[in-house]
Amino acid sequence: MKTLLLLFFVPFLCFAQNTISGEVVSVTDGDTFKLLTKDSTIVKVRLANIDCPERKQPFSQKAKQFTSDAIFGKYITIEELKRDRYGRSIANVFYGDSLNLSHELVRNGLAWHYVKYSNEPILQELEDKAKNDKIGLWQDAASIAPSEWRKRKRK
């Protein structure tokens, strides 16, 4: 019986996400910030599934300001999906009345859906709508995704 229960629950444990709560103490850019947990640990968080403009790109400051207005100094919850090679927590971030920060940035034309790392159809729908409505960075038909911008800068 124990073996049967174990076989049933183990697959669910593999997909468990680490939930972390704390206060946002700094916002680095539109998709990166620092969270201070109850046990005084600082967690560097990178928003999952999106990419905000780089510092020297148009709308970078607006994306950072949006993120700051939404979460800075506030107590929030993140769902950590994994850690990246820089040790950052890659996470879904929820604030306010269960708003998903990644979704809100894309909806407001302040981030790209990071298709390379995401399989969230809602993000593509939100990006397509922002693009069609020429919201935020989509006002410029020639806007360049941050991943492409970084690639060009390296050359």
The 10s digit of each residue's pLDDT in 76-117 is 999 999 999 999 999 999 999 899 999 999 999 999 999 988
Q: Is 152 a catalytic residue?
A: no
Question: Which pLDDT band holds residue 18 (cuts at 50, 70, 90)?
Answer: very high
**Least confident among 9-23, 33-47, 62-76, 118-132:** 9-23
- From the list 151, 142, 136, 124, the residue with the least C-alpha distance to 30 is 136
**Least confident among 16-25, 40-49, 74-83:** 16-25
- Cα distances from 75 to residues 23, 29, 40, 79, 96, in angstroms, run 4, 18, 13, 14, 9
| Inside any domain, residue 33 | yes
Residues in contact with 111: Cβ distance below 8 Å, sequence separation at least 6, in sequence order: 30, 31, 47, 50, 51, 52, 53, 63, 102, 105
CATH code of residue 130: 2.40.50.90
Residue range(s) defining the domain that contains residue 123? 17-139
pLDDT reported for residue 36: 99
SS3 assignment, position 75: strand
Q: Is the pLDDT of residue 3 over 60?
A: no
Rounded to whole angstroms, the Cα distance separating 42 from 22 reads: 9
| Inside any domain, residue 11 | no
| Inside any domain, residue 111 | yes
> pTM score > 0.85 for this model?
yes
| Inside any domain, residue 52 | yes
Which tens digit of pLDDT belongs to each residue from 120-154?
999 999 999 999 999 999 999 889 999 898 888 88
Question: Which pLDDT band holds residue 119 (cuts at 50, 70, 90)?
Answer: confident
Q: Is 88 a catalytic residue?
A: yes
Over the chain, what is the mean pLDDT? 90
Query: What ranges make up the beta strands (E) of 18-106?
Result: 18-29, 32-37, 42-47, 50-51, 75-83, 89-95, 99-100
| Inside any domain, residue 145 | no
Rounded to whole angstroms, the Cα distance separating 48 from 108 reads: 17
Residue of 23, 54, 79, 80 with catalytic role: 54
pLDDT reported for residue 16: 54
| Inside any domain, residue 68 | yes
Q: Is 54 a catalytic residue?
A: yes
> Could you give the percent of the chain with pLDDT greater than 90?
77
Helical H runs in the chain?
2-14, 60-71, 101-107, 121-132, 146-154
| Inside any domain, residue 117 | yes
Total tally of structural domains belonging to the chain:
1
Residue of 23, 85, 88, 125 with catalytic role: 88
| Inside any domain, residue 147 | no
